[in-house]
Structure 1
Amino acid sequence: MTPVSITQGDSPVILGLPHGGTFVPDAMLARLNDRGTALSDTDWHIAQLYQGLLPGVTTVAATFHRYVIDANRDPAGVSLYPGANTTSLCPTTDFDGIDIWLDGQAPGPDEVAERRAHYHTPYHDALAAEVARVKARHGVAIVYDCHSIRSTIPFLFDGVLPVFSIGTNDGQTCAPQVTEVVSAPCAASSRFDSVVNGRFKGGWTTRHYGQPANGVHAIQMELAQRAYLAAEAAPWTYAAQTAAPLRAVLAQILQSLDTLARSGVLNR
């Protein structure tokens, strides 16, 4: 299986989907314990959730699971949140802090380097190429990184996560206008709660590509899975009726980003 799936469009908006893939090579799958093979930390149905919300949008989606390697982590292995609980480039635990590999089967440094070359690098080569293509066409590109997570994970954060967690690394990865058009529909929603640069400030993708001075803006959207799944547990069923109000807000966000990028405001 190829490590990345690309759909090219003519919008200035690019959707990154680093955590929706579920592919794990058979030999690697055999080394995972029962916690690992459950693949519970998948961004379940994230592509389906965003499907059709913005005609002409470009998508770059990882097909491999984050337990193979995390496409949204620094390839050098540097923590995104120093001092806080998190998972690593090639995770050894799940989001509950519990081991996912059989005894002695966690990847060592050489294997991590191999996985980086076979999965992480091709994903980001593809994303970088799409950023360059879109920017050449429009003079600007917006990378909108799509994520979702269980609403309650005590190992990672206290309490219940808002439905919308928007990350811009404290305003460094995009122009204020980008933050505004993403956050305003979330704040206006009477159904959902939201936060900007709360527990999640944007992962490596957002921080790496977000160079607003050079015409590339990046923003991460972390969604609480209660807003579109039947239950935040196996079998992780997509609930279309539950998802409909969420999709309406997401459509407004993406369409507003497209309009903003085409307006020329971000090119000035």
Structure 2
Amino acid sequence: MQPVEVTAGDSPIVLGVPHAGTYVPPEIWADLNETGHKLADTDWHVDRLYSGLLPGATMVKANFHRYVIDANRDPAGVSLYPGQNTTTLCPTTDFNGHPIYLDGREPDEAEIEARRLAWHAPYHAALKAELERVREKHGIAILYDCHSIRSVVPYLFEGTLPDFNTGTNGGTTCAPEIEKAVVDVTAKAGGYTSILNGRFKGGWTTRHYGQPQTGIHAIQMELAQSTHLVSEDTPFAYDEAKADRLRVHLGAILQSLAELGVTR
């Protein structure tokens, strides 16, 4: 299994998909318990959700599961949200705080480093290369980092998550007009709720690559999975009708960003 899959396009938009992969190497699978085998924390069907929405968009997708290593975590292991519950570079619990490994089988430092080199590093090498290619062509690259999560996860946040959760780390990872373009669409999306820089302010990918002064802008979209799944539990099936309604708004976001990318 290749760590990363790249679909290269000619627009200013690069779609990052770090958490839709479900591949777990057999030797790691053997160490996971029943909770881990459920793979419940997958960003289910996010690649499908965004596929074909914007002609010419580049997509960089991690094929490995986040339980192998989380492609949206700092490789140095620094927490994204100090003082709040979250999962680590190589998670040992799920989003409910429950262990995902059989007793005594959690990865040690040497294993974490081996996974970083085998999986995390290739994904980010590919993402960096695509951002640089797009920036060279257009003078700008806009990284739109695609995510989803269950709408109710008490271990991570209180209450029910809004449908659209836009993150720019307090406006630091992209130009104001790029942030505004996204928020304008989500705020007007009938029947949906939205928030800017709420519980999800942008993960390591958004914060690491989002350097507007260099011509690379980054924004994270965390979708509540209730917007496009039949149920937020096994088998996490894709709901065509829900997804089609949602894709209208996602397409509007990407089109607006693409227009900004060619006019800035």
TM-score class, shorter: over 0.9
Question: Superposition pairs for residues 173-188 of structure 1, below 5 Å?
Answer: 173-188=173-188
- Structural mapping, 1:161-180, within 5 Å: 161-180=161-180
Structure 1 residue aligned with 2:203: 203
Map of 1:22 onto structure 2: 22
Q: Normalising to structure 1: TM-score of the pair?
A: 0.98
Q: Secondary structure at the match of 1:262?
A: helix
**Partner Cα separation in structure 2 for residue 22 and residue 80 of structure 1:** 23
* Unpaired segments ≥5 residues, structure 2: none
**Structure 1 residue 149: deviation in Å?**
0.2
Q: In structure 1, what is the equivalent of residue 136 of structure 2?
A: 136
Secondary structure of the structure 2 residue equivalent to 1:261: helix
The CA deviation string for residues 78-136 of structure 1, in whole angstroms up to 9 with x for no partner, is 00000000000000000000000000001000000000000000000000000100000
1:262 maps to what in 2?
A: 262
Match of 1:109 in 2: 109
State the alpha-carbon separation in 2 of the partners of residues 52 and 214 from structure 1.
28
Kindly provide the CA deviation profile for residues 178-225 of structure 1, in whole angstroms up to 9, marking residues without a partner as x: 101111110011210000000000000000000001110000000000
1:75-114 paired onto structure 2 within 5 Å: 75-114=75-114
Structure 1: which amino acid aligns with 2:160? V
CA distance in 1, matches of 2:10, 2:39: 34
**What aligned pairs does 1:44-63 form with structure 2 within 5 A after superposition?**
44-63=44-63
Shift >2 Å, 4+ stretches: none
The CA distance in 2 between the partners of 1:180 and 1:164, in whole Å, is 14
Aligned length: 264
CA distance in 2, matches of 1:26, 1:92: 17
* Aligned AA (1:28): I
- Aligned partner of 1:8 in structure 2 is 8
Secondary structure of 1:49's counterpart equals: helix
- What displacement does 1:245 show? 1.4
Q: 1:34 aligns to what?
A: 34
Map of 2:215 onto structure 1: 215
Q: Distance in 2 between matches of 1:189 and 1:89?
A: 34
| Separation in 1, partners of 2:161, 2:11 | 31
In the alignment, the residues of structure 1 paired with residue 100 and residue 127 of structure 2 have an alpha-carbon distance, to the nearest angstrom, of 28
Match of residue 151 from structure 2? 151
Residue aligned with 1:48, SS = helix
Other-structure match for 1:69: 69
Aligned equivalent of 1:118:
118
C-alpha RMSD over aligned residues: 0.4
SS at match of 1:82: coil
Q: What is residue 226 of structure 2 aligned with on the other side?
A: 226
For 1:229, the aligned partner's letter is L
TM-score (norm 2): 0.99
1:30-86 per-position Cα deviation (integer Å, ceiling 9, x unaligned): 100000000000000011101110001000000000000000000000000000000
**CA-CA distance at 1:18 after TM superposition:** 0.1
Distance 1:156 1:14 in 2: 28
Partners in 1 of 2:86 and 2:199 — Cα distance? 11
Alignment partners' CA distance in 2, 1:106 and 1:37: 14
**What is the DSSP-based 3-state SS (H/G/I as helix, E as strand, rest coil) of the residue aligned with 1:87?**
coil
Q: Return the offset for 1:27.
A: 1.0
Moved more, 237-246 or 130-139: 237-246
Secondary structure of 2:42's aligned partner: coil
Please state how far the C-alpha of 1:158 moved relative to its aligned partner: 0.2
